[in-house]
Structure 1
Amino acid sequence: MEEIEQRWLYALSAPSVALNPNASYTDPGYCSDLKFVDVEGGWGITNRQQLLEMLRFADNGHAVQLEDAYHQWERCLPSQWQALLARLGARDRVLYELASRTFSECGSGGIRAWDLGRMGFLLRAAVLHGWINLDESLWLHGGLALRARHYYDSWASYFNGFVVGRSIWNCMGNSDEDLAHELDRKGDFPMNTVILERIDRDASQLFAQLPWDMALNLPERPASLAEFNWS
C-alpha cells in the first residue's frame, strides 16, 4: 500500500491518539515507547493470540447494545417510536432515547466507531509490542476500514460515533435509576470535546489529505493469518 493509504488506516484510531499526547497519528506502532501503551493492564492482552481474539469486538463489542436503537430510530414513524419506547424497560428506554438524540451526529452507524477505533489502537499497539508485523496489521486494518465505510459516510460521523460510544462506556456501570443522569453528564464530559478539538488542531492538515472515500488498495491476507476469519 502507498504511505498515504496506510495513514488512512491509522486514522481510524485517531481519537485514541488525541487522548494520548505521546502517540502519533501516523506511526504504525502508535508511539515509540511501550511505557505509554498498557494493553496488559487495560485489556488483559499479553500475547498475539489474545490480541486476535480481542479483535472480534469489532463486530461484537459495545455497539451491539444500541444497534437496534439506531436502526429503529431511522425507520420508525414518530407514533411507532413512542409505542416502541412504551414497551421497553427503564434501562433500554434510556439507551433508545440517547440513540434518538445522537442519530444526527453519528448516523446509522451509531457507536460502531468506538469499537472500531479501539481495535485500530490495539493493532498499532500490537505492532509496537511485536505481536504482529506490519503486513498483518495493514490487512487487519483493512477489515476495520471496510466496516467503518459501511457504517459511516464521513470522518465527522465516525469521530462522533467514537465519542458518543466513549460516553456510554463510561456510564454502563451505573444503575438503571442513575443511567440517564450520568449519560447526560458524560455526554458533556470535557474530554469528549478535547478529543475532537485535538484532532482538529493537530491533524487537520493530515485529514485534508485523507478524504473519507479515498481509494484504498487493501492488501491480500498474509499467509501467517490464513486461519483468521476476518470476513
Structure 2
Amino acid sequence: MHSNIEVSAVLLSQEQKQWLLSLSGHLSMQNGYSLDSLVNTNKNYTQEGIIRGNQSVLKNAYGVNSKEDLINTFDAFCNTNRSQHFMMCMAEHVRQDLISKRYHVDRDQNENRGTELGIMLGWGERHKTYLARCGIRAFDIGRYAFLCRCGVTVGLITEDEAWYYLARIGKVAQPLFTNWQEFATSYIVGRCVWLEIETKDYDFDSNFNFRYDVAGKVNDAAQDLKMILSDDDHPWCQLNWEIVI
C-alpha cells in the first residue's frame, strides 16, 4: 500500500467513531489525550507542543518520517511477525514435536528461559485458552490506532484518511475479541512479550499485578488498564464491543 492511495469516504456514526478511537485507549490515557476527537489534545499542553511530541513519537519510536512510512507501519501492524509467532506458540504448546521441528530447539523450559521463544512459550501456556483466538494482536491494534491519531495531529494524513484506516483496523479487531477486558489482557500480554518480561514477574492470583521491580517497564501500563476498566465513564465501560463497524 502506498501513500498516494485514494481512500474511500467512510460514513461512521459518532458511536462508531468513539469505538474506533477507543482502540487507542491505553496509549491515549498514558499521554493524557482524550477520546473526544480524532486529533490528540491535552488541556495541559499547547497544540504546538503536542504536535512536536507526536512528531517525535512517530520518528524516534516507529521510524515514521512520511505519509508512506506511516501507511507501511499500519500495514505491518495488521499482523506482525511477533503476533504470528505467539499464535504458533499457543497452538503448538502441547506438542513437543511441533515446537522442536518449527523452532529447532529443545522444549526444556530452563533451556529456553530468558529467550524470546521461552518468554512467548511462558505467556502462551498461561493464556492458551483465554487468548486462543486473539493472541497478542491488541498490542499491535492499539498502537495502530494511536499512530493513526498521531498522523492526523501532525498532518501526515487527513481526517477522512484516518477514519478509513481506523475502520480498516476496527474490522480486523472486532472478530478477534469478545469484550474490552479481553482486548486489555491481549494488549498487556503483548507488551510483556515485546519487553521480554517473563511470567514469573506476574501475580496470576490478581488482575494485572506485576512485581514492583518491573514497574518501569509494564506495571504502569497495567495500572492504567485497570483504571480504564474500572471507570464507568470511560468508553470501554460504555461501548458494546459488538458495535457494527
Q: Same fold (TM over 0.5)?
A: yes
Q: Which one of the candidate residues 202, 215, 227 is aligned to 1:198? A: 227
Q: Aligned ranges for residues 84-103 of structure 1 at < 5 Å? A: 84=98, 88-89=105-106, 90=112, 91=115, 92-103=117-128
Task: String of CA shifts for 1:46-85, please: whole Å, max 9, x gaps.
Answer: 2111101111222235312212122335xxxxxx545555
| CA–CA distance in structure 2, aligned partners of residues 190 and 83 of structure 1 | 35
Counterpart position of 1:2: 13
Partners of 1:16 and 1:118 within 8 A in 2:
yes
Deviation at 1:142, TM superposition (A): 1.2
| CA–CA distance in structure 1, aligned partners of residues 19 and 65 of structure 2 | 27
Q: Which one of the candidate residues 194, 197, 200 is aligned to 1:184? A: 200
Letter in 2 for 1:133: T
Structure 1: gaps of 5 or more residues: 74-79, 172-178, 217-231
Q: Which has the higher helix share?
A: 1
Partners of 1:9 and 1:142 within 8 A in 2:
yes
Counterpart position of 2:239: 210
Counterpart position of 2:5: none
Letter in 2 for 1:16: L
| CA–CA distance in structure 2, aligned partners of residues 48 and 201 of structure 1 | 37
How many residues are matched? 200
Letter in 2 for 1:161: S
Q: Which one of the candidate residues 140, 146, 152 is aligned to 2:171? A: 146
Q: Does 1:117 align with 2:134?
A: no
Q: Which one of the candidate residues 51, 60, 65 is aligned to 1:34? A: 51
Q: Does 1:20 align with 2:31?
A: yes
| CA–CA distance in structure 1, aligned partners of residues 98 and 118 of structure 2 | 9
Kindly report the root-mean-square deviation, in angstroms, between the aligned alpha carbons of the 2 structures.
2.4
TM-score for the superposition, normalised by structure 2: 0.72
Partners of 2:19 and 2:235 within 8 A in 1:
no
CA, structure 1 residues 115+15, in 2 after alignment: closer, same or farther (shift >3 Å)? same
Runs of 4+ deviating beyond 6 Å: none
Letter in 2 for 1:206: P
Partners of 1:106 and 1:161 within 8 A in 2:
yes
Letter in 1 for 2:60: G
Task: String of CA shifts for 1:97-127, please: whole Å, max 9, x gaps.
Answer: 3211023443421101111110111111000
Deviation at 1:202, TM superposition (A): 5.0
Counterpart position of 1:43: 62
Deviation at 1:204, TM superposition (A): 3.9
SS in 1 for 2:189: helix
| CA–CA distance in structure 2, aligned partners of residues 191 and 81 of structure 1 | 35
Structure 2: gaps of 5 or more residues: 1-11, 42-46, 107-111, 203-208, 211-217
SS in 1 for 2:240: coil
Deviation at 1:94, TM superposition (A): 4.0
Letter in 2 for 1:165: G
